[in-house]
Amino acid sequence: MLIYILRRVLATIPTIFGVALLIFVLFNGVGGDPTYQMVGKHATQKQVEEVRHEYGLDQPKVVQFGNYLKQIVTFDYGRSFSTKQEISTMVARGIGPSLTLTVPAFMFTTFLSVALGLLVAYFRGRAVDRIVVFLCVVGMSLPMLGYILFGQYYLAFKAGLFPISGFDYGWPDRFEYILLPMLIMIVVSLGYDVRFYRTAVLEEVSQDYVRTARAKGLSESRIFMKHVLKNSMIPILTNVVIEIPLLILGAFLLESFFGIPGIGGITIDAIHNSDLPVIKAMTTLQALLLILGNLATDILYTLVDPRVSLK
């Protein structure tokens, strides 16, 4: 198992290098000189040269790529063009509000979706299964923006059940502001997850070992809880672990509409202000988190299915 884990860790190095090269080309090559996007079309030549020197854009491309790799290793992405703050400081300040919103929503969504997935798979083909699947399809068909507008207008403005927007850094006052966006995040995510877990469970139900267990006289509940759920853990684990890196980045639309100063809000503001250093840093951070999430998934596979380490 140690050799397997070591191989997976070493395999991420060329992946990170390739992703870093692609991001560098997209931001520094394909899009042209990013200086003019940051300073605007009407900037003087002196302003352009100052910005190019400040962000190292007057150096050869090889040197710029080397500096970019150094930023990835040291997590020092320089300064924001619009706010002049250290990007690492902005990220550190935004992680707390993002996790306050996404972690509870993720935990509730995972628990409810796995439970509902097992339930509808257990009652497959019956009224409960059809109703839940129908509601999941309807929920998936509506965009998040529709849920946000409905929640802010009817639940917050009309009914006065929640604040329309805002954030409080104090505990536990901040939960008053994140409750509505958390509920919206749960509703939006629930439909896809329930259908995914239902499919994963039903694929196991059709296996030979389930028919053998039934032939031995085991009850359906025992078969589901002891055998089917255990053998469904690989697709369930894949979906859960892949979603974890996205928690740090927050929910872009929710943070923007509800005024939550998290990573998502920082990214949206950077896009509005054409703040390329911040956009580049957030793109890199998301790519790294997804790569590490895939690595964690491969390693966790060995815990739920030891045969993986032999392949």
Chain segment 260-286, per-residue pLDDT in tens: 888 888 888 888 887 888 888 988 988
**Residue 249: which pLDDT band, with cuts at 50, 70 and 90?**
low
The answer to whether 116 touches 266, Cβ cutoff 8 Å, is no
pLDDT at position 18? 92
Closest CA to 98 of 155, 165, 167: 167
pLDDT mean across residues, the chain:
84
**Residue 108: which pLDDT band, with cuts at 50, 70 and 90?**
very high
* CA–CA separation, 79 and 232 (whole Å): 45
**Residue 139: which pLDDT band, with cuts at 50, 70 and 90?**
confident
pLDDT at position 3? 80
Residue 64 has pLDDT above 80, yes or no: yes
Express as a percent the part of the chain with pLDDT over 70.
94
* CA–CA separation, 165 and 20 (whole Å): 36
Q: Which residues pair with 79 in a beta bridge?
A: 86
Locate tokens 């529709």: which residue?
146
User: How many secondary structure helices (H) and strands (E) does the chain include?
Assistant: 15, 0
For the chain, which domains are there?
Answer: 2-74 (no CATH), 95-273 (1.10.3720.10)
* CA–CA separation, 134 and 291 (whole Å): 34
3-state per-residue secondary structure call for 61-121: HHHHHHHHHHHHHHCCCCECCCCCCEHHHHHHHHHHHHHHHHHHHHHHHHHHHHHHHHHHH
The DSSP string of 129-173 is: HHHHHHHHHHHHHS-HHHHHHHIIIIIIIIS-SS-SS----STTT
pTM of the model: 0.80
181-222 tens-digit pLDDT: 999 999 988 988 999 889 888 888 888 888 888 888 888 788
pLDDT greater at residue 249 or residue 108: 108
* CA–CA separation, 105 and 214 (whole Å): 37
The answer to whether 136 touches 144, Cβ cutoff 8 Å, is no
